[in-house]
Chains A and B, each alone.
Chain A
Amino acid sequence: MAVALPMAGVKEDVWIPTACDMCYNGCTVQVHRVDGVAVKVEGIPGVGPNYGMTCAKGLSALMNVYSPNRVQAPMVRTNPAKGIGVDPGWKEVSWDEALDLFAVKLKAAMDKDPRSILTHTFDRYTYAVAKAFSTAVGSPNVTMGSAGIFCGNGTHPVAFTLTASNEIHDDLKYCNHLLMFGASAGFVGGHNAMGYSVEMQDARQRGMKLTVVDPVLNYAASHADEWIPIRPGTDGAFALAMMREWVIVQDSYDKTFLKLHTNATYLVGADGRYARHATSNKPLVAIAATGAILPYDEAPSDEAALEGTFTVDGVEVTPAFVPFKAHLEPYTAQFASKITSIPAATITRVAHEVLEAASIGQTIQLEGDTYPLRGAAISWYRGISAHRHAMATGQLMGQLNMLLGAVDVPGGVLNSSSMGPTWRPNLDPDGFIYPGNPLAGHMKPALPRRKVSAPETLELQELFPVSVYARAMLWLGLLEGEKFGLPYKCEVLVQCRGNVMQTSGDPETMAKAFQTIGFIVSINTFPDETAQWADLLLPDMHSLERLTPLVGNPNNFTNSASVEESGTWNFQQPIVKVVEKARNWGEVLFDVAERAGILPDMNSAVNAACHITGEYQLRRDQKYTWEDFADRWTKSTVGGEHGLDYFREHGYLKEDKRLAKYAYPMIHHGGRIPLYLEHFLDAGVAVKEYTDSRGIEWDTSDYAAVMDYQPCTTEKQAPAQFDMWLVNQKLPFMAGTYSAENPLLMDLAKRNSKVFNIGINRATALKKGIADGDEMWIETPAGKKVKGLARLTEGIHPECVSAPGMFGRTSAGNKDAVGRGVHFNNLVAFTLDHMDPVSAALDSCVKIKVSKA
């Protein structure tokens, strides 16, 4: 490169702040635009949530916005036949024609049954608009695609249980030993990827010990002090053995925390239910010293008994901790070792190391208050969620933290979106916390208890009273809705950004489900697998072309407890316009609402979903431009003087550092969290009652007050010769399917030379006669076969084979991505018996047999 000459005769050379959209973290970035052409993306030093850093995806975003493979204009399908790889026969139409067709189909569906309209998006920042649109048409059906099928099922319900917030992450400021199951948080992955990565490396260089439990030597395990390879889907057994070591063998756990903050002291009878006060119906506790029986909130908590037997109205009862402790008995280290393949000695050693690091009883002074200080925490994510017993394993992970007293306290696992100035601590009738934050306010956590009712949603969410979502059930609602009592069929799918066809379970099942949908509108930037099913394909704006208010919200997704900086509000503003006819899908929904005559309801619904208050509310009788709506939403949420003009000028707004009492609320909110899941019992009964009444076979055995380990379905069903597992692994430089549209990211994936290969343990490969670089077959019990190049490695469990990322595309703008690599989801058995009936997770255990090609 020649020595940089000064740019002569430059007309324009500006840096424009916006928010990145190459994953869901919404980092604050600035784009360098020279003479109208965007040439570079950078972070903004010191500005959260990424503090000047940007990952490979964010930096390469220009290759998506400028891609010649984008959807260029509205198109209608001319080939009525639909199927994987079937050419829709696109014919270009004008926006006017397209919106009229859209409105006509919408009205027809609303007249038939408003609930027959399904809205889909995974565009986290404008969820509320999709939600409002669905509410305005009168439909409860909003869905999101893969994340709800594989990732959050073992996390979000537990996050609400522990912290009444949708997300959790660990306080790396004070933690000295982090035990991480099936995740790579802090290694440019997961939530708050960039900020958390700095925290993680600072913590590790401060001396924090990191132990990672995962079948694959993932990005976190690569740097961990210890990597513990484990058989897929068996994390629960490891957790139970650790708890047994603490509670039964060592008798060393945070008794005070259990008494003050959990329902371990609530008295339960032989039927597992709480003993309740005759009139106030409040759960009762027993005073250890005197045996007196009192409602939980009238007894001095630290005197309540954790053990012993008592009688209430002549019925024998014990504190809930007694059955909890008893159920740990069988889970010896040896027992767990057989299940997990982890040596028993390792299990006991790790249990001791974590317990010791927790230093139960330690306290710390922060901003005038005394907090319990815990040196150990357990974190987990998709690795343990994508299994048949996701809820059970997730709850066990939460219970590990509870026994150490490491929840919402310095050094423990923290809430990341409930607290903050908008928190309104709500307690349900039994004293358990639930979200008051309006952004999460409309959530449906397990507590306060929800009734089971005849399903009205295509995701059959009403049959999942203790989960937060039921995304994975969408195909079941579409295909067998009437069996479950759904009084309608899906007439219209409004799909905005998100490739549900490629990111769900196996595409054949999703294809059958999509066949049942009358009319599909896809507002998409690329002609991906889902767009191929559309009857009407509309060109969506890329995030660098559109205006999106409130992308980053410091009260959501990040808990700036452990970060010196404060949280940051940011937004997206138009930088360039590449596809002339592209439009912002949120704006399209407003237009269609007007054409379908439901604009008044749309405005009311937007006010409710976005929590717009006072003078900023949209009036029912008026049509607002997208910009006006964005300005009102911003002012209503951030404060009158911080509207769009402020953000256009400053680009972002720093929130002041979160107070300790919001970051570590356990000692402040006065609520309790359920160690003993009594509310699961009645929920299970209710689900069984309903499913029995409809003659539906529905396993409710996991609705128990204490969680046990059970093998995944594939483990039980697979014939002997299918002796290995196929596991999937996330990559820090790829996300979703749109990153495969980016030639620079694909180039990185090819040069990485592991992404498009199949990782297999060296010893196992030699036994099977497979050498490095050989072609090998992977075959599932269902007869699916995939071929790929073997890459021998020491970094994977001997019974596992790894196919990382989301590839093997059948349709994409970037032709180079089509047919390259293995599509992991395609091999996942997408049937009801492989799904967790409590959390709706889809078991991604894929039993396979491998052979040299």
Chain B
Amino acid sequence: MIQCKVIFAGLIKRVAGTSEMTVTLPADSTLGDLLADLTARFGQEFEDKILLNGDLANHAVVMIDGEYAREVGGMQARLDRQTPAQVEIVLLGPPLLGG
């Protein structure tokens, strides 16, 4: 089993109700497994906000040990590279660019 420190920042904090928690998961868990576990805890709204068509939505920025999840495998990213793993989930608001 591995310890996973999860930090919620931005808009997702209201859904999670907390800014930080620790989750224990099987050793070979991926980011997808972690998000499924969190959805089970916080309900479908959690997944609706984070995922789009089964992948990380543009505006859901997830970092695993300081690296962008999308650049280290996205949903299949491993969580066991550092113990305890630190996963930061930042849900950005809508875009603010151009007119």
Interface residues in chain A, defined as those with a beta carbon under 8 Å from any beta carbon in chain B: 114-115, 121, 124, 127-128, 130-131, 134-136, 138-142, 144, 146-148, 151-152, 156, 166-167, 428-429, 435, 439-444, 448, 450-451, 453, 457, 459, 461, 468-469, 600-601, 604-605, 607-609, 613-614, 617, 620
Contact = CB atoms under 8 A, between A and B. Distances in A.
B68 A613 contact: yes
A617 B11 contact: no
A142 B58 CA distance: 17
B50 interface: no
Contact of B19 (A139, A601, A605): A601
Interface centre among A156, A448, A450, A608, by most chain B C-beta atoms within 10 angstroms, is A608
B97 A127 contact: yes
Interface centre among B67, B88, B96, by most chain A C-beta atoms within 10 angstroms, is B96
A142 B11 contact: no
B88 A604 contact: yes
B42 to A, nearest CB: 15
Given A138-B14, A442-B59, A444-B94, 16 more contacts: A124-B98, A135-B10, A136-B10, A138-B10, A138-B11, A138-B13, A140-B93, A146-B99, A429-B53, A442-B61, A443-B95, A448-B53, A459-B94, A461-B94, A604-B90, A608-B92
A138 B18 CA distance: 12
B98 to A, nearest CB: 5
Contacts of A139: 11, 93
A613 B92 contact: no
A617 B65 CA distance: 11
A617 B66 contact: yes
B91 interface: yes
A415 B67 CA distance: 29
B94 A135 contact: no
A130 B96 contact: yes
Interface in B23-76: 48, 52-53, 58-59, 61, 63, 66-68, 71
B2 interface: no
Given A613-B68, A614-B66, A135 B98 contact: no
B6 interface: no
Nearest to B45: A453
B88 A457 contact: no
A121 B7 CA distance: 28
A540 B93 CA distance: 25
B47 to A, nearest CB: 12
B9 interface: yes
Contact of B93 (A131, A146, A435): A131
A444 B58 contact: yes
B7 A604 contact: yes
Nearest to B88: A604
A614 B67 contact: yes
Contacts of B59: 442, 444
A433 to B, nearest CB: 14
B11 to A, nearest CB: 6
Given A429-B53, A604-B10, A613-B67, A156 B93 contact: no
A416 to B, nearest CB: 10
A166 B10 contact: no
A156 to B, nearest CB: 6
B9 A605 contact: yes
Contacts of B9: 135-136, 600-601, 604-605, 608
A457 B11 CA distance: 12
Contacts of A141: 93
Contacts of A443: 58, 95, 97
B31 to A, nearest CB: 16
Contact of A166 (B11, B93, B97): B97
B93 A469 contact: no
B99 A442 contact: no
A822 B65 CA distance: 57
Nearest to A149: B99
- Nearest 3 interchain pairs by C-beta: A147-B99, A608-B61, A135-B10
Given A135-B93, A444-B58, A151 B11 contact: no
A143 to B, nearest CB: 8
5 contacts: A127-B97, A139-B93, A441-B58, A608-B63, A614-B66
Interface centre among B10, B52, B66, by most chain A C-beta atoms within 10 angstroms, is B10
A601 B98 CA distance: 25
Contact of A607 (B48, B90, B97): B90
A451 B90 contact: no
A429 B98 CA distance: 27
A561 to B, nearest CB: 19
A444 B52 CA distance: 11
Contact of A151 (B48, B61, B99): B99
B7 A144 contact: no
Contacts of B66: 614, 617
Contacts of B19: 600-601
A140 B93 CA distance: 4
Contacts of B94: 140, 142, 444, 457, 459, 461, 469
A136 B8 CA distance: 10
A600 B10 CA distance: 10
A156 B97 CA distance: 10
A127 B96 contact: yes
Contacts of B11: 114, 135, 138-140
Given A152-B98, A152-B99, A448 B52 contact: yes
Contacts of B96: 121, 127-128, 130-131, 142, 144
Given A429-B53, A442-B59, A114 B14 contact: yes
A428 B58 contact: no
Contacts of B92: 131, 135, 442, 605, 608-609
Contacts of A144: 96, 99
Interface centre among A128, A138, A147, A617, by most chain B C-beta atoms within 10 angstroms, is A138
Contacts of B7: 604, 620
B95 A428 contact: no
Nearest to A113: B14
B20 to A, nearest CB: 9
B14 A469 contact: no
Contacts of B48: 451, 453
Nearest to B53: A448
B77 to A, nearest CB: 15
A442 B10 contact: no
Nearest to A435: B58
Contacts of B63: 607-608
Nearest to A131: B96
Contact of B98 (A140, A156, A428, A457): A156
Interface centre among A121, A128, A134, A435, by most chain B C-beta atoms within 10 angstroms, is A134
B16 to A, nearest CB: 11
Contacts of B98: 124, 147, 152, 156, 166-167
Interface centre among B11, B67, B95, by most chain A C-beta atoms within 10 angstroms, is B95
Nearest to B19: A601
A463 to B, nearest CB: 13
A483 B98 CA distance: 29
